[in-house]
Amino acid sequence: MRLGYSGPHGEYPVYRCEYGMSEYGQPRCQEVRGLGLDAEVERLFLAALQPDRIALSLAALGELEKEHETLKRQRALHLQRQEYEAERARRQYDAVEPENRLVARTLENAWEEKLLALEKAKQEYAAWAKQQRLELTPEDRAGILALGTELPRIWNAASTTAAERKQILRYIIKEVIVDQKRAPGKVWLKIVWQTGAVSEYCYDRQVRSYDEYGLSKRIYQRIRELHSQGKLDGEIAAELTAEGLYGAKGCVFTHGTIWLLRQKMGLPAVISTGTPLPAQWEDGAYSIQGAAEAIGVYPGTIHKWLKTGRIHGKQIRNATPWKVFLSSMEITQLRDYVQRVRRLKKEVS
């Protein structure tokens, strides 16, 4: 992925996968917000380098060192075997009589082949030893353990620059692979550490709608359950918050949020007795919820309009449902008014 920027003024960093676009002219594959991803990688990086985690890693490294020593002995024995074969071929060549040219030429070719095999074995051994080096001195181990204690202070110090933090990350992390299409509302990432170890994680991402939200199914299910129990919108919001659930954009649930979700789910409003309110009474008057749905506003807006006299309604007594009197013409006028206001707000923003 490549780093880019989004937002009205290009102030938000994002990581974009543009390979298909640049190579084949396809639509952009995906993009992940940079601030959230960077924060998650930083958290996992610092957690991985806590002193206790480092101690466990060093213990595991001790086992790897034993395996490494076994492989090293095997490769060394193979190299010794190649050296012996080359030396044996040389002795055979030296022992042949000079006048026996045919035998000498054959033995010389065999000697050259053994020398080439020996040179190849030496190169392979050197490359393997360089790539697989695992030996740590006691001083190395003490330094690594001290790093786990000092790293958070160094990382968060005001004197540590962003470039230095990136350099520290490169010492520990080899590669980060990201995919936000594996699960709704989640970002999946795989960290390939410089040691060769691989870790996989998921974290919640900010989404634009509940259709993309990972907790949508659970939230919808709880709203249906609480609604069937006669809970009001405010009570449902409080219950969801108490259960540790939060909205698609990370916000706390309110009665307005629940009202919007109820409309999307096709659930009617309820009154405190648990009886669902009709959108429109038999005499043609609307309930608060019915008037809000007809005009396309929040129920709280209807309450405000009733209080200011923009629309008219009545209650038999306090704590009883409102009856809102609206003609078709008034609904059309109010709906047009709301759309104009929203359009003006959008243009201003």
Residues 107-143 pLDDT 10s: 888 888 888 888 888 888 888 777 665 555 666 666 6
What radius of gyration, in Å, describes the C-alpha atoms of the chain?
36
Amino acid letter, 75: R
What's the one-letter identity of residue 172? Answer: I
Residue pair 261/269 in contact by the 8 Å Cβ criterion: no
Assess whether 189 and 243 both reside in one domain.
no
Cα 252–chain centre separation? 22
- Domain extent at residue 119: 52-139
Identify the band that residue 273 occupies on the pLDDT scale cut at 50, 70 and 90.
Answer: low
Per-residue pLDDT at 336 exceeds 80? yes
Answer whether residue 227 is part of any domain: yes
Token output for 152: 């958070």
Q: Clarify whether residues 307 and 329 are in a common domain.
A: yes
Q: Tokens representing 170?
A: 């490169």
Question: Residues 225, 335: one domain?
Answer: yes
**Residue 325: predicted pLDDT:** 93
Q: 42: Cβ–Cβ under 8 A, 6 or more apart, which residues?
A: 155
pLDDT digits (tens, 9 = 90+) for 156-183: 888 888 888 888 788 778 888 888 777 7
Amino acid at 337: Y
Q: Which residues contact 339 (CB under 8 A, 6 or more apart)?
A: 296
What's this model's pTM, rounded to 2 decimal places? 0.41
Contact 323, 287 (CB under 8 A): yes
User: Which H helix or E strand runs over 257?
Assistant: helix 255-265
Contact 104/93 with Cβ under 8 angstroms?
Answer: yes
Q: Find the Cα–Cα–Cα–Cα dihedral 37, 43, 48, 52, rounded to 10°.
A: -170
Whether 326 and 290 share a structural domain:
yes
- Residue 73: other Cβ atoms inside 10 A: 10
Give the model's pLDDT for residue 274.
Answer: 53
Does residue 148 lie within any of the structural domains?
A: no
Residue 210 lies in a domain: no
Report the number of distinct structural domains present in the chain. Answer: 3
